[in-house]
Structure 1
């Protein structure tokens, strides 16, 4: 779409996430995508980003920021970050770096974030998770500070059936005091939230001890609804603990892309920590050769001409 509109005014930096031992089919699809992207955007550069170190330590976020840092954006009017094919461990740090860059005024293009989302497809990605629970690079939110070791930790995970094991690892690693899981509503499938809750019934009623009043319902395809919901929870909780042990709200947006985008906005706004389990590898079902035509494109304008400047 951008190439049709902008022609040779469009340039691109494509981040290519590299994980150990990808399947032959994933590699073939990746090479096909590279050739298509080169055809669509001749003025493009590709940045391979190593996601896992030799000891399986997660290094993707830091490497992604360094890859983007090598490029200058002084001559462009708009930067558009497409999160669709990136993990949150890569996309979140890139967006944070670029937002800080344009806010400092060193380079002043508009900054946009877009994502192509189809909940059924987002949930259908097959992945093998790492064994290590990680904090997204740049999104520690004070979670590691000794002064917050005794803070009351509220966890807001996005429930996703394929990520059930990963979510269990996160809960076991951080020992949260309260859990407010996110379920989709409204959603394309009216029973999507019920179906997900059924798969998590042991966690909700057992280990996590979730009060039914603490279940969060957020629109499946509206990141602004997710953003506002998280901010409301954080604002209501803060004064309760302000004068005692303090509170920290931890996000784990591990499911659909729309919820991930809304969680990103909340984390940037309030400095919230984001915790996840990085994927060691991905695979795709045979029928899913490319993004389906009915995927919805979501757009958020983060910084620039859409907002009044200070003093104006």
Structure 2
């Protein structure tokens, strides 16, 4: 059990820069960064922040997610980001990950695990940093689980998560979902189908702008649910974001999912620990409610904010929850309205494992 996650070391915005400048300035630190090298404008932020302090003590694996027939504009943006990342971290490794097999099946998770296995973390690395900012769920979640387990098994090695978040920018990125929903690799815990108790599924879809079609298909694939508890970002930088999403999803919430308003849950758009704690609390409550009557299966569908998704990732790993998603076939990046200024990026840093928690573990009852 990773009980320290409820209050794990977390930094936000300017405090992240302060932590990086202080902690990673120690000459003994050798850091491996794992991040995306795609079209997303946030791809370079974490690499630049770390490189400014670590210099040659920073190595990196950058993941290039390849999808069929990308637009020329997005391909050019990805090429530009990759070239910049090669300059920021000289000698970095670029992993090309084909997201779909020849038959159209989503295989990004399986392939990233295989590629990371072929590029193991060097023994002298003291810290591994996973930048989730621009990684898809199908690739980022399996990579996170693999790297976390590797760090927990290596004495003295620390595992960090970093996320550069910009909800307004997320709204400008639209996606075309694939035709089939599937479980994220490593996040499909076995079910005792032959047991005495009936399986009761609780689905927690994360509502996000423009993702209604994908969530509808995921819901159909999941099938009958005991409860559907939509997750909304609140508090949020835009105070009306939750209201806007409720309006956008009104048909699905009322007509398709028949959601009881009391089952809607909220988590901070800024702090992944709020999402983690909320989902953990739900799990414990449903465990108590269904004990001896139903076999609980909680299914998460994090399709929006990477901050909320990071909390969902932690909850899924800690409580063995299923993660069902719809892989993206293609993206479209819409230019922002010049009349509305972008409020800028937010950045979050979490320490999920490492020597910092040694005393915490020994002090537990």
TM-score w.r.t. structure 1 length?
0.94
Structure 1 pair 26/39, CA: closer, same or farther in 2 (3 Å)?
A: same
Partner of 2:200: 152
Partner of 1:165: 213
2:308 paired with 1:259: yes
Deviations along 1:142-177, whole A, 9 cap, x unmatched? 35x534794100011111131100100011111222
Partner of 2:262: 213
**How far apart are 1:55 and its partner, in Å?**
1.1
Contact 1:122–1:257 (CA<8 Å) still a contact in 2? no
For the residue of structure 1 that corresponds to 2:163, the secondary structure is: strand
For the residue of structure 1 that corresponds to 2:328, the secondary structure is: strand
Structure 1 pair 54/108, CA: closer, same or farther in 2 (3 Å)?
A: farther
Contact 1:141–1:271 (CA<8 Å) still a contact in 2? yes
Contact 2:172–2:336 (CA<8 Å) still a contact in 1? no
2:187 paired with 1:135: no
Contact 1:142–1:273 (CA<8 Å) still a contact in 2? no
List runs of 5+ in structure 1 lacking aligned partners. Answer: none
1:1-312 correspondence to structure 2 within 5 Å: 1-73=49-121, 74-105=123-154, 108-142=156-190, 146-147=193-194, 150-175=198-223, 176-286=225-335, 294-308=344-358
CA–CA separation in structure 1 for the residues paired with 2:263 and 2:80:
45
Partner of 2:4: none
For the residue of structure 2 that corresponds to 1:248, the secondary structure is: strand
For the residue of structure 1 that corresponds to 2:87, the secondary structure is: helix
TM-score w.r.t. structure 2 length?
0.80
Deviations along 1:224-260, whole A, 9 cap, x unmatched? 0010000111100012222122111110010111110
Deviates more, 1:192-201 or 1:169-178: 169-178
